[in-house]
């Protein structure tokens, strides 16, 4: 290496130090040096970790709805939970297939946030590893498609014209996998003694309450012996 080359290298190093050191000092002074790398990603991860890592397609999720009829459902069924749906996954994340307003897919986190205090319980059928194969899940979704867009059944009739939340989940599992989750009851089997329950029923049925109507309640499915709890908040 000749003298001119050596001098050029020294000059380049000096210029580098003059440019870099003030910038480095600025990073320490502002605290930027201590900030996490990929701050936007960290924010997204924080949101994602709010959801349990154990979620699987086909899981059944329960919550206490904030709807006007929720209290009456809780009283009549003697249950904390008044709304439910099935969890599915797409390329954009997890969703709940539910009957609420209409039968539709709702982003899972949005669904959780809509419930009372954001509380929920997720349950799964026993032997899910064997029963919930890709083929079974595909069949469940196909069965569920017949109900998409149908209105919520505020009369709790056992038909496919309108449908309520627990009826939707029960019928999908029954038709797709021949599994019955929970016990079907008659409307007369529930506790109809509370004033709030009687008021709602009299307003809806105009005094002609169909006591023999078949009903599946969130409470009956929640306590089904072929479900296990996998997450709770």
For residue range 113-170, list pLDDT tens digits in order.
999 999 999 999 999 999 999 999 999 999 999 999 999 999 999 999 999 999 999 9
Instruction: For residues 116 and 175, give the distance between their C-alpha atoms in angstroms, rounded to a whole number.
Output: 31
| CB-neighbour burial class of residue 49 (10 A; exposed 0-12, middle 13-18, buried 19+) | exposed
The residue ranking higher by pLDDT, 181 or 201, is: 181
For residue range 213-223, list pLDDT tens digits in order.
999 999 999 99
Contacts of residue 162, Cβ cutoff 8 Å, sequence gap at least 6: 150, 151, 152, 153, 154, 155
- To the question of pTM greater than 0.85 for the whole model, the response is no
Q: How confident is the model at residue 7 (pLDDT cuts 50, 70, 90)?
A: low
For residue range 18-74, list pLDDT tens digits in order.
444 444 344 333 332 222 322 223 333 334 445 777 899 999 999 998 888 888 899
Q: What share of the chain is helix, strand, coil (3-state, %, to 5)?
A: 45, 20, 35
Q: What element of type H or E holds 46?
A: helix 39-48
- Average pLDDT estimate for 181-205: 92
pLDDT at 6 > cutoff 60: no
What's the pLDDT at 75? 87
């Amino acid at each position: 290496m000749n003298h001119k080359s050596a001098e050029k290298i020294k000059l380049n190093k000096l210029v580098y130090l003059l440019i870099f050191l003030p910038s480095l000092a600025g990073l320490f002074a502002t605290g930027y040096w201590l900030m996490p790398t990929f701050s936007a990603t960290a924010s997204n991860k924080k949101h994602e970790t709010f959801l349990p890592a154990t979620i699987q397609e086909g899981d059944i999720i329960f919550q206490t709805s904030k709807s006007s009829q929720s209290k009456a459902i809780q009283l009549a069924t003697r249950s904390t939970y008044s709304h439910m749906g099935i969890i599915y996954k797409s390329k954009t994340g997890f969703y709940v297939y539910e009957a609420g307003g209409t039968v539709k897919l709702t982003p899972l986190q949005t669904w959780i946030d809509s419930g009372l205090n954001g509380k929920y319980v997720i349950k799964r059928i026993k032997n899910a590893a064997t029963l919930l194969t890709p083929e079974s899940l595909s069949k469940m979704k196909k069965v569920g498609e017949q109900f998409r867009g149908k209105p919520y059944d505020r009369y709790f009739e056992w038909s496919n014209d309108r449908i309520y939340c627990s009826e939707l989940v029960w019928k999908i599992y029954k038709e797709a996998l021949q599994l019955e989750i929970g016990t079907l009851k008659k409307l007369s089997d529930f506790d109809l003694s509370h004033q709030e329950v009687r008021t709602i029923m009299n307003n809806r049925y105009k005094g002609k309450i169909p006591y023999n109507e078949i009903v599946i309640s969130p409470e009956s499915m929640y306590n089904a012996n072929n479900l296990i709890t996998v997450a709770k908040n």
